[in-house]
Structure 1
Amino acid sequence: MRSGYPLRPAGILLGVLDAPRRVPLQWAALCLLVFAALTWAVTGDRSPLDGFDQWGRRSEDWADENAPLVEVLRAIELGFNTIGMTVLTSLAAVWLFVRGQRRAAAFAVFVMVVTALATTVLKLWLGRDRPQWQDTVGLHDTHSFPSGHASSAAAFAGILIVLALLFVRRSQLRRLATGVALLWWLLVCADRVFLGRHFPSDVVGGSLLGAAVVLLGLAVLDPRPRSIAARNQPLPEVFVSQRRLAVVLNPIKVEDVGQFRAIVGDLARESGWSEPVWHYTTVEDPGTGMAEKASVEGADLVMVCGGDGTVREVCAELAGTGIPVGIVPAGTGNLLARNLGIPLYIRSAIDVALNGQDRAIDLVEVSGDGIEKTHFMVMAGMGFDAAIMEGVNDDIKKRIGWVAYVLSGLKSLMFPAVKVEIAIDDEEPTIHRARTVVVGNVGYLQAGMPLLPDAAIDDGLLDVVILHPKKFLSWIPLATRVLARSTRVDELIDRRTGQRVVLRAHTDTPRQLDGDSIGPGRELRMECIHGRLLVRVPR
């Protein structure tokens, strides 16, 4: 049984992604059977579909009376012809290849090439003439059945849906992507009928053919990333362990807990791990107690699935124990996972946790007024960045993910500058005016923004950036310099490094740790503990 993400199937493609190969083959056979029946009906002297196809004449007549609509239809025809679809396929394949999703890229190319070849061969073999009422501009004199535009649009829409189901984490966005793909396919199909280029039965036939090839592609080429265990030799073990696996799960971060447990269980058995011992976080305990219990019970690996907050609690508890932590990112930011190169596709992240290599990374101890001594893994901040975290609407965050941070950021852009005293190691403190001060253990924010490009999570140092855009428009050169990884420092952007950092604001200022607001205060004291934690990373 093949297993993977998404966790809540909806529709044929959603169901066949995790099913045995015979399931997509069966659905493909059904599509081809209906296609064969349609082919029989539209060829020779058999014409039971004449009434249906004559609807195409009425549609073309109606469209012909709306000149602006015809221009739009012709643009759609030109944009999604053979050349247009070849360009789209090439762009999609190159993008997937560059992102390291080679199997998905091969799947996309296979589906589109096979669809194009099958459509061409069937057109030549069946030889159905075009409708006599087609649009006079750009008359098509090639054969009509099945529609090439419809088959390629159906195939490409199927590819987009498969990619969305595999790699888009949020169910709302997956549904949106699926709806957009289906609407685009319907638009292309309607274009062929309203321009009179094809009979309606041609469009139905082309769509059935494209869908069949997508399903065949799922049976022949698994688009999901290949397992680390399947493509690498096992790593040598310093000591022989019982390979006891514990999983700390934030249950609200996965769509289907039962399905997630099944995936972890299947992949653990395939990789030689014991049956997982499960621990669920609660509102009262976001992971500390669960990680402690897993450690006491003798786990050889603790897998944590949740957002940055859950990951932080588990990592802090297991720091110094020698027990590696496997991170399955399921939050909004997932900054630690992104900076460690851990894939966001849940099945691949589980694979890395089970079969990756261990890496020693730094942990940062932090204290301050009004907070108990704690730790962070990614970043701490005072000012604008913390105001963003405070201003995020949780309901909006659940629906649209990290875009909620963008909306909050736009509202907080002119957060007032504060006077901050910064002490690095044993140096004399310096006074700055800043809208935000960020202390980072890693370098990159959402979308790969290199806020601290020289930061490394295993160098034993903290990187500090002080941002002070004096005017609203000053954010533009600031963003430009950050994206360009400029090393220039001045009043707009200043940078410091050290093992110990103390921030003291002259007024109560919003503060955050790893993207979680910890309330306003005037002080943060941070110390980097070098190589304190073992985490699983790709190899």
Structure 2
Amino acid sequence: MLDRSRKTSLTLAGGCLAVFVVLTVLVLTDPGFVQWIDELGRDAARWANGIGWLHDVLLVIEDVFGTLGMTIMTVIVAGVLLVKKHSRAALVTVVVMAGTAVLTSGLKVLLNRDRPDWQELVGLHQTMSFPSGHATSTAAFCAILATFTLTFVRRRTMRRLAVTGLVLVWLVVVADRVLLGRHYPTDVLAGGFLGLAVLFVSLNWLDPRPRTIAESRSEPERHQVHHEQKVAVVLNPIKVEDVGAFRHLVSEMAKDSGYAEPSWHYTTVEDPGVGMAKAALADGVDLVLVCGGDGTVREVCATLAGTGVPVGIIPAGTGNLLARNLSVPLYIRSAIDVGLNGTDKPIDLVAVEGDGVPSGHFMVMAGMGFDAAIMDGVNDELKKRIGYAAYFASGMKSLMFPAVKVEISVDDAPFTTHRARTVVVGNVGYLQAGMPLLPDAAIDDGLLDVVILHPKHIGSWVPLAMRVLSKSQRTDTTIDRLTGAKVVIRAEKPTPRQLDGDTVGEGRELTMECLPGRVTVRVPR
């Protein structure tokens, strides 16, 4: 949305202002059809006044979206954005809401329209009526959130749900003003267009997107840093909504950062990234950007291991566990920026083999048991629509995955025997849904961390989750931990297995060995 031209922003702002001006002129000249529309408000208020519970609800809505309520919500949103390091988005929020409040108050005094004579007596409003302050501020606030949703949220389904919900919130507030008789229908319509106009005017001058590293450099500095360097992009095309738009964005940002025009390599079902990474190496590139899920990232990183060519990760999957653990932004534009201009960091790669599993690697984790059953049970269509929540749905179905007897050897020590519903071997600390399952794990320490979970019944999952979330170090038969550079797991019977969230079929054994500092990745400065 925010990649549109300045001309488009001005056009939208001009359109909203034009509608507001037309409504203002019609109200001031008081034509008959405006009176007819406003009289509908009288009928609506009379109807609502006869329904006791509705009347009480309307008064609550009035308070929640009043001046104090909107101020609190603005402060909360701006604060969250600052914590998330979106300072420019926080500035847009404050400027738009403050500007809306000042403009609305001034117009009320200037236009001097009286309130409807049928308004609710509880909390009687004595200020002027046009435009509606509630409608204006709520329209601006909901439009701000919709803008951020369209900017930062990748999934189309989630964007649609969020924007639809925000429109409904504004409609509820508008209905509240009319049903309580606080405003004429034309007051709230004008307020809505005024709030939108303030937002579009502000967006013409203020960009809520994070400032890129390249923007902070002068033109000579950008080209001095990356002059003539070649970049290749390995893209899983099903992970982006608009491949053309994505290519344009990467090319423009690469140009701004001083790189040559990127070369492009698309993954396929048959080859999830190995051949593409090899082709990029053959071209003599200085940097490889990989856009896809954890599986695509794993294949590219493993192929580039030991070459010294850095990998910039553009997370576009559902889990994005490696990106999350490296603090790579999930916002696509920021991730591209880090990939192009971040700092290089050597991280560990893990070699893995097992019965029925070709020798390979993983970057994040491997597992046997419950966690692999979750991955296997995820509905792909549901995952496309609701993202991470699909794993929760699968997890609820797999909660009592049967325990199995496993033997584990760490660093070639004698095997120890355990009962487990799942065994996870991690190269990072945070796994699905941000769970600190392996709080001591580090991706650059040359070690693997093992957690063995054995909740004895369904009620044991709650205290187990509390222990995990609190990063408790206490171990017992419910949760046990091991650490080493090499881990071998043997199960007494075929058990589901997964690598970086991708199922690799049932089997009885996995052998994993950490390869320290084998891959170079780009991380935030």
Aligned counterpart, 2:55 = 70
Aligned counterpart, 1:496 = 482
Aligned counterpart, 1:385 = 371
SS in 2 for 1:459: coil
Aligned counterpart, 2:422 = 436
Aligned counterpart, 2:22 = 37
CA drift at 1:128: 0.8
Matches within 5 A, 1:196-211: 196-211=181-196
Aligned counterpart, 1:139 = 124
Aligned counterpart, 1:402 = 388
Change (3 A) 1:232 1:471: farther
Moved more, 446-455 or 246-255: 446-455
CA drift at 1:47: 5.8
Aligned counterpart, 1:423 = 409
CA drift at 1:43: 2.2
Aligned counterpart, 2:36 = 51
SS in 1 for 2:430: coil
Q: Which amino acid aligns with 2:153?
A: V
Aligned-CA RMSD value: 1.7
SS in 2 for 1:536: strand
CA distance, structure 1, for counterparts of residue 228 and residue 75 of structure 2: 47
Q: Contact between 1:63 and 1:69, CA under 8 Å: does it hold in 2?
A: yes
Of residues 104, 114, 127, the one that matches 2:112 is 127
Q: Contact between 1:383 and 1:435, CA under 8 Å: does it hold in 2?
A: yes
CA drift at 1:238: 13
Q: Which amino acid aligns with 1:80?
A: F
Of residues 136, 155, 166, the one that matches 2:140 is 155
CA drift at 1:385: 0.4
Unmatched 5+ stretches in structure 1: 1-13
CA distance, structure 1, for counterparts of residue 84 and residue 217 of structure 2: 20
| CA deviation vs aligned residue, 1:460-481 (integer Å, no higher than 9, x gap) | 0001111111111111111011
Change (3 A) 1:462 1:237: farther
Q: Contact between 1:41 and 1:47, CA under 8 Å: does it hold in 2?
A: no
| CA deviation vs aligned residue, 1:489-518 (integer Å, no higher than 9, x gap) | 111111111000000011101000000000
CA distance, structure 1, for counterparts of residue 166 and residue 451 of structure 2: 42
CA distance, structure 2, for counterparts of residue 119 and residue 241 of structure 1: 51
1:473 aligns with 2:459: yes
Of residues 201, 213, 222, the one that matches 1:216 is 201
- Normalising by the residue count of structure 2, what TM-score does the alignment of the two structures yield? 0.97
Q: Contact between 2:223 and 2:259, CA under 8 Å: does it hold in 1?
A: no
Q: Which amino acid aligns with 1:333?
A: G
SS in 2 for 1:197: coil
Of residues 335, 354, 361, the one that matches 2:347 is 361
Moved more, 252-261 or 134-143: 134-143
Aligned counterpart, 1:519 = 505
Aligned counterpart, 1:296 = 282
Moved more, 444-453 or 464-473: 444-453
Q: Which amino acid aligns with 2:341?
A: N
Q: Contact between 1:242 and 1:300, CA under 8 Å: does it hold in 2?
A: no
Aligned counterpart, 1:282 = 268
CA distance, structure 1, for counterparts of residue 516 and residue 396 of structure 2: 36
Q: Contact between 1:436 and 1:466, CA under 8 Å: does it hold in 2?
A: yes
CA drift at 1:236: 11
Unmatched 5+ stretches in structure 2: none
Moved beyond 6 Å, runs of 4+: 232-241
Matches within 5 A, 1:95-110: 95-110=80-95
- Normalising by the residue count of structure 1, what TM-score does the alignment of the two structures yield? 0.95
Aligned counterpart, 1:178 = 163
Q: Contact between 2:226 and 2:259, CA under 8 Å: does it hold in 1?
A: no
Aligned identity (percent) is: 62
SS in 2 for 1:140: coil
Aligned counterpart, 2:253 = 267
CA distance, structure 1, for counterparts of residue 137 and residue 392 of structure 2: 36
Q: Contact between 2:222 and 2:257, CA under 8 Å: does it hold in 1?
A: no
Moved more, 48-57 or 199-208: 48-57
CA drift at 1:449: 1.5
CA distance, structure 1, for counterparts of residue 12 and residue 400 of structure 2: 56
| CA deviation vs aligned residue, 1:62-98 (integer Å, no higher than 9, x gap) | 1122222111111111111111111111111111111
Of residues 285, 294, 301, the one that matches 1:308 is 294
CA distance, structure 1, for counterparts of residue 156 and residue 172 of structure 2: 24
CA drift at 1:447: 3.4
1:93 aligns with 2:78: yes
